[in-house]
Structure 1
Amino acid sequence: MGRKSINTQVTSSNPMHFKTSEKELKYNIAYEKSLSLWSVPYTTMYVPTRFGRTHVISCGPDDGEPLILLHAMGFSSTIWFPNIEPLATKYKVYAIDFIGDLNKSAPSMLPANREECGEWLDEVLNRLGIDACIMGGISYGGFLALNYSIYATSRVKKLFLLSPASTFVPLHNQFIYRIIAMNAIPVKWSVHHFIKWLSKHKLNKALVDQFHAAFRYGSLSLRVPPSVYSDDELKKLVMPVLLLLGDQEVISDVNLAYTRATQLSKNILAEIIPGTGHLLNLENPDYVNMKINEFLHYG
């Protein structure tokens, strides 16, 4: 009993996110419950960078083409559980907990701008021995994936984006107000209310519980908010790009995003999926998996 008391009172191993080891432990338990949803064998590792230790989940054949996944803010890499099996059949997948978000990565300093976000991910890929890869991201992870595709164009062979936060169009003020309010009062009812607004579908309980645990026990420390890329920046995307959006999107104007993306570049293949909101990989995983598979094989 004495040993347990000591462990739960000391500073956590991830102090920028969790003030005590007890809070860190409670979050990690919720994280592991979500990770248990993955239907394929996986390994986890920490990759050192100048920004801190980056937590990575890897799976798939060792000789498979590298594929990088970047998650939605607050959810961590476990959000990919409905999509991981078809991806890991062929590709060597690395799902990365990005530095500064509430996950298992432990930052020592935070990327302060888009360029430093690119530098951080560049370091991770270098440590993993990856020269070039396919990259995919959802929500804030989509924003980061596109950012890296502009930062290191030659290293990204194909890019798929699911409901990228901002990126093509500004965020609605309502979304900003709601996430600030939820972060300020992270009790269960406010977190669940936010999730129900974000997605009209009932989401997996373990994943929602992990999202709640992140804001209840942790402190969000991201310094780079999602923003809109200029035409000149987006024209640097020379690789094939798949953009999937939900017709019930609430964080921004989905029709305007679709129009801007498709008019800006012939490299961008975009589709609005009926009956889905912001977290479309969780809401209609079968269709999303089919579209990603088609894009990776034929796009």
Structure 2
Amino acid sequence: MNTSYHPFKSEKAREEYLNFYDKHAAQWPVCSTNKYIETSYGRTFVRISGPKDKPPLVLLPGDTENSLSWIPQIADLSKHYRTYALDNIYDNGRSIYNRSLKSSKDFTRWLNELFNTLHLENNITLIGFSYGGWLTSMYALARPKKLNKVVLISPSSTVIQPRIRYLIIAIIAHFFPNHFFSKLMVYWERKCLVKQGEKGRAKADHMIEELVLAGKCFKKRKTVIPTILSDDDLQKLKIPLLYLIGEKEVLYNANKVVKRLNTIAPQIRTVIIPNASHDITHSQATLVNKIILDFLQKN
């Protein structure tokens, strides 16, 4: 892991991916400061925006994504918060891991070290999408006193088991990250975004291009499989928590998710977003941003 191009397959692969990444980063709509934070798991890339005197808000991306996935949210959130958008230490982006992460406890330790090094006090707002949503739930269970409020956006597993069809498509796309299978997954997973016309398809096509390039450039890593929280764990989540899900979510049935949460953990606020699938932060960005900010700013 000490090679100059780790976690990439080669120096050429590193250069190719980061050139693509940096072109995308030029679309970041607000001023930002970029930092590498050292942890025992490696160097974490953090994109920091917003006023220094505002409360901290940390953003965790989905699987195969990175800090740039929050472009649709960052301008609105950074008006009211000091935002910290992360490249997951164990995923695609500029972060560089130096040892494998084997469980949710590793991710929790990584985040805790990161927050402490950044001198974030016990008033952090933590928002996670998809895989990052599951990681957010794990951190909320392990370190509730560090958090002020939490937002889970279409988190992987967490509340109910994903559909078998989704798992099959995701596994195929993971092991065969070519254009055909990547497009099959993205166009199904982000179907509401694709239906929004040329601009929506362009965003989806960019996601496909990045997936294919990441599969070509990065070394393979073993994935920590997201888990389902028990009734007891869901009831332990006493921090103010908002759960957002698209009405046409493909990972699982939105109504079943909301029913379980309302039955087992009614303290968790649930909102179903219309005309959205697993593209909720892109296809319905304006609505999602408003709901999140309303929730965060409510006493």
TM norm structure 1: 0.92
Which of 6, 26, 30 is residue 16 of structure 2 equivalent to? 26
- C-alpha distance in 1, partners of 2:11/2:29? 29
Give, in angstroms, the shift of residue 212 of structure 1.
2.8
Distance change (3 Å), C-alpha of 1:245 and 1:134: same
For residues 131-210 of structure 1, the aligned pairs below 5 Å read: 131-132=121-122, 133-200=124-191, 201-202=193-194, 203=200, 204=203, 205-210=205-210
How many residues end up aligned between the 2 structures? 288
Matched, 1:129 2:114: no
The DSSP-based 3-state class of the residue aligned with 2:128 is strand
The DSSP-based 3-state class of the residue aligned with 1:90 is coil
Q: Gaps (5+ residues) in structure 1?
A: 1-10
CA contact (8 A) 2:179 2:208 kept: no
- C-alpha distance in 2, partners of 1:251/1:51? 30
The DSSP-based 3-state class of the residue aligned with 2:45 is strand
The DSSP-based 3-state class of the residue aligned with 1:244 is strand
Which of 25, 29, 32 is residue 35 of structure 1 equivalent to? 25
- C-alpha distance in 2, partners of 1:212/1:12? 23
Distance change (3 Å), C-alpha of 1:186 and 1:278: same
- C-alpha distance in 2, partners of 1:228/1:128? 30
The DSSP-based 3-state class of the residue aligned with 1:83 is helix
Distance change (3 Å), C-alpha of 1:268 and 1:13: farther
Q: Gaps (5+ residues) in structure 2?
A: 195-199
- C-alpha distance in 2, partners of 1:219/1:183? 12
Give, in angstroms, the shift of residue 37 of structure 1.
1.8
Q: CA RMSD in A?
A: 1.6
Distance change (3 Å), C-alpha of 1:275 and 1:12: farther
Give, in angstroms, the shift of residue 12 of structure 1.
5.8
- C-alpha distance in 2, partners of 1:89/1:220? 37
1:49-87 Cα shifts (integer Å, max 9, x gaps): 111111111111111100000001112111100100010
Q: Identity of aligned pairs, percent?
A: 29
For residues 1-299 of structure 1, the aligned pairs below 5 Å read: 13-15=4-6, 17-132=7-122, 133-200=124-191, 201-202=193-194, 203=200, 204=203, 205-298=205-298
Give, in angstroms, the shift of residue 207 of structure 1.
4.3
Give, in angstroms, the shift of residue 13 of structure 1.
3.5
Bigger shift: residues 236-245 or 179-188: 179-188
CA contact (8 A) 1:101 1:220 kept: no
1:137-159 Cα shifts (integer Å, max 9, x gaps): 10000000111111100011100
Which stretches of structure 1, 4 residues or longer, exceed 3 Å deviation after superposition?
A: 11-14, 205-208
- C-alpha distance in 1, partners of 2:4/2:139? 28
CA contact (8 A) 1:45 1:57 kept: yes
Q: Which position in structure 1 is the counterpart of 2:197?
A: none
For 1:276, give the aligned amino acid: A
Distance change (3 Å), C-alpha of 1:223 and 1:191: closer
